């Protein structure tokens, strides 16, 4: 029942209502600010939260495999409660590998996305393609809300 991944350019994403009048995020940062131990702990937090859509090899994937400036994390009460992991693939596309949030404040997930895409806007050309998976009911619902009609 999963659909093909959504492919949008950074220009398309930046032109959406999602980015208009948005405030700078709080308690969100790029994963390049984390050391490897903090990153691992964040991954383990997401895995032990009982989420089913975590790639099986994520436990052994080093933080450097991801784009550390575009990938982001969320922190609440000193604990990493969310990860938005993006990597540049062989086709020079930004591929979303993981979007997990296990915290209490649901708006934090949107803050992670805004922070990550703001970094991408400043680092990559507007024509850069972003591959957004729609392989779970949650990812399909989120992509439908953020990018209606796509």
pLDDT at 2: 57
Given a contact cutoff of 8 angstroms between Cβ atoms, the answer to whether 94 and 129 are in contact is yes
Query: Which one, of 147, 107, 121, lies nearest residue 7 by Cα?
Result: 147
Q: Is residue 28 part of a domain?
A: yes
Residue 134 within any structural domain of the chain = no
Q: Determine, yes or no, domain membership for 133.
A: no
Instruction: Name the nearest CA neighbour of 1 among 136, 133, 96.
Output: 136
Total-model pTM: 0.87
In a domain, 44, yes or no: yes
Q: Is the dihedral of CA 129, 57, 136, 141 positive or negative?
A: negative
Domain that holds residue 80: 10-91+98-125
- Secondary structure, 3-state, 60-89: HCCHHHCCCCCCEEEEECCEEEEEEEEEEC
User: Which residues, 6+ apart, have CB-to-CB distance to 60 below 8 Å?
Assistant: none
Q: CA 17 → CA 12, 22, 23, 133, distances in Å?
A: 11, 9, 13, 20
Q: Does residue 72 sit within a domain?
A: yes
User: 3-state DSSP call for residue 24?
Assistant: coil
140 occurs within a structural domain: no
**Is 86 within the bounds of a domain?**
yes
Written as tens digits, the pLDDT of the chain (150 aa) is: 457 888 999 999 988 887 765 665 568 889 999 999 999 898 888 777 755 566 778 888 999 999 999 999 998 888 898 899 999 999 999 999 888 888 888 788 888 888 898 899 999 999 999 998 887 777 787 788 888 877
The answer to whether residue 143 is domain-embedded is no
What pLDDT does 91 receive? 93
Beta bridge partners of 85: 98
User: How many independent structural domains does the chain possess?
Assistant: 1
Q: Which residue carries 């859509």 as its tokens?
A: 53
């Amino acid at each position: 029942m999963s659909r093909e991944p959504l492919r949008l350019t950074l220009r398309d994403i930046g032109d959406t209502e999602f980015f208009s009048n948005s405030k700078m995020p709080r308690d969100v940062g790029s994963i390049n600010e984390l050391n490897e131990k903090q990153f691992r702990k964040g991954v383990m937090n997401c895995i032990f939260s009982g989420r089913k859509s975590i790639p099986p090899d994520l436990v052994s994937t080093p933080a450097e495999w991801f784009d550390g400036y575009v990938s982001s994390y969320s922190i609440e009460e000193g604990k990493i409660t969310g990860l938005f992991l993006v990597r540049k693939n062989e086709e020079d596309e930004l591929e979303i590998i993981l979007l997990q949030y296990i915290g209490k404040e649901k708006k934090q997930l949107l803050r992670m996305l805004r922070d990550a895409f703001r970094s991408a806007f400043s680092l990559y050309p507007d024509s850069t393609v972003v591959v957004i998976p729609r392989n779970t009911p949650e990812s399909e619902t989120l992509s439908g809300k953020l990018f209606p009609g796509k």
